[in-house]
Chains A and B, each alone.
Chain A
Amino acid sequence: MTVTNDAARTAEAAEATIPAASRAERFASYDVEAFEVPGGREENWRFTPMKRLRGLHDGSAAASGEVKVDADAAPEVRVENVARDDERLGEAGVPSDRIAAQAYSAFDSATLVTVPKDTVASAPSLIRLTGPGEGKTAYGHVQVRAEAFAQATVVLDHVGSGTYADNVEFVIGDGAQLTVLSVQDWADDAVHVSEQHLRLGRDARLKHVVVTLGGDLVRVSPTATFAGPGGDVEMLGVHFADAGQHQEHRLFVDHAVPHCKSNVLYKGALQGDGAHSVWIGDVLIRAAAEATETFELNRNLVLTEGARADSVPNLEIETGEITGAGHASATGRFDDEQLFYLQSRGIAEEQARRLVVRGFFHEILMKIDVPEVRERLEAAIEAELQAVGA
Chain B
Amino acid sequence: MSSLEIKDLHAEVVTDEGNKQILKGVNLTIRSGETHAIMGPNGSGKSTLSYAIAGHPKYAVTSGEVLLDGENVLEMSVDERARAGVFLAMQYPVEVPGVSMSNFLRSAATAVRGEAPKLRHWVKEVKEEMGKLDISSEFAERSVNEGFSGGEKKRHEILQLALLKPKIAVLDETDSGLDVDALRVVSDAVNEYKANNEVGVMLITHYTRILKHIHPDFVHVFAGGRIVESGGKELADELEENGYVKYTDKAEPAKV
Q: Which residues of A contact B (CB under 8 A)?
A: 336-338, 340-349, 351-352, 355-356, 358-363
A359's partner among B77, B82, B143 (CB-CB below 8 A) is: B143
In B56-115, which residues have CB < 8 Å from any A CB?
56-58, 77-79, 81-83, 87-88, 90, 93-99, 103-104, 107-108, 111-112
Cβ–Cβ contact A345 & B97, under 8 A: no
Q: Is B47's beta carbon under 8 Å from chain A?
A: no
The 7 closest A-B pairs by CB, nearest first: A359-B98, A362-B98, A346-B111, A345-B108, A341-B94, A346-B82, A343-B78
Beyond A359-B99, A360-B97, whether A343 also contacts B77 by CB under 8 A is: yes
In the bound complex, CA of A344 to CA of B108 (Å) = 9
In the bound complex, CA of A345 to CA of B111 (Å) = 8
In the bound complex, CA of A356 to CA of B146 (Å) = 13
Cβ–Cβ contact B94 & A338, under 8 A: yes
In the bound complex, CA of A358 to CA of B87 (Å) = 25
Cβ–Cβ contact A340 & B107, under 8 A: no
Cβ–Cβ contact A343 & B94, under 8 A: no
Beyond A343-B78, A348-B79, whether A360 also contacts B98 by CB under 8 A is: yes
Q: Is B236's beta carbon under 8 Å from chain A?
A: no
Cβ–Cβ contact A336 & B99, under 8 A: no
Cβ–Cβ contact A336 & B57, under 8 A: yes
Minimum CB distance partner of A366 in chain B: B98
Cβ–Cβ contact A342 & B104, under 8 A: yes
Beyond A342-B104, A358-B99, A359-B143, whether A348 also contacts B111 by CB under 8 A is: yes
Contact mask B152-165 → A, CB, 8 Å, 1/0? 00000000100010
B112's partner among A336, A338, A340, A346 (CB-CB below 8 A) is: A346
Cβ–Cβ contact A347 & B94, under 8 A: no
Minimum CB distance partner of B108 in chain A: A345
B98's partner among A348, A351, A361 (CB-CB below 8 A) is: A361
- For A346, what are the chain B residues with a Cβ–Cβ distance below 8 Å? 79, 82-83, 108, 111-112, 164
- For B93, what are the chain A residues with a Cβ–Cβ distance below 8 Å? 341
- For A340, what are the chain B residues with a Cβ–Cβ distance below 8 Å? 54, 56-57, 78, 94
Q: Which residues of B contact A (CB under 8 A)?
A: 54-58, 77-79, 81-83, 87-88, 90, 93-99, 103-104, 107-108, 111-112, 143-144, 160, 164
- For B94, what are the chain A residues with a Cβ–Cβ distance below 8 Å? 337-338, 340-341
8 contacts between A and B (CB under 8 A): A342-B104, A349-B77, A351-B111, A355-B96, A358-B98, A359-B96, A359-B99, A362-B98
In the bound complex, CA of A336 to CA of B55 (Å) = 12
Taking the nearest CB of chain B, how far is it from the CB of A299, in angstroms? Answer: 10
Taking the nearest CB of chain A, how far is it from the CB of B230, in angstroms? Answer: 27
Cβ–Cβ contact A345 & B160, under 8 A: yes
In the bound complex, CA of A361 to CA of B83 (Å) = 28
B104's partner among A336, A345, A348 (CB-CB below 8 A) is: A345
Cβ–Cβ contact B98 & A363, under 8 A: yes
- For B82, what are the chain A residues with a Cβ–Cβ distance below 8 Å? 343-346
Minimum CB distance partner of A359 in chain B: B98
Cβ–Cβ contact A345 & B112, under 8 A: yes
Minimum CB distance partner of A357 in chain B: B98
Minimum CB distance partner of A352 in chain B: B79
Beyond A336-B57, A349-B79, whether A344 also contacts B88 by CB under 8 A is: yes
Beyond A341-B93, A345-B164, A363-B98, whether A355 also contacts B78 by CB under 8 A is: no
Taking the nearest CB of chain A, how far is it from the CB of B150, in angstroms? Answer: 16
Cβ–Cβ contact B79 & A347, under 8 A: yes
Cβ–Cβ contact B160 & A342, under 8 A: no
Taking the nearest CB of chain A, how far is it from the CB of B161, in angstroms? Answer: 11
In the bound complex, CA of A351 to CA of B83 (Å) = 14
In the bound complex, CA of A363 to CA of B144 (Å) = 14
Taking the nearest CB of chain B, how far is it from the CB of A349, in angstroms? Answer: 6
In the bound complex, CA of A220 to CA of B64 (Å) = 56
In the bound complex, CA of A78 to CA of B68 (Å) = 68
- For A345, what are the chain B residues with a Cβ–Cβ distance below 8 Å? 79, 82, 104, 107-108, 111-112, 160, 164
Taking the nearest CB of chain B, how far is it from the CB of A378, in angstroms? Answer: 13
Cβ–Cβ contact A338 & B96, under 8 A: yes
- For B143, what are the chain A residues with a Cβ–Cβ distance below 8 Å? 359, 362
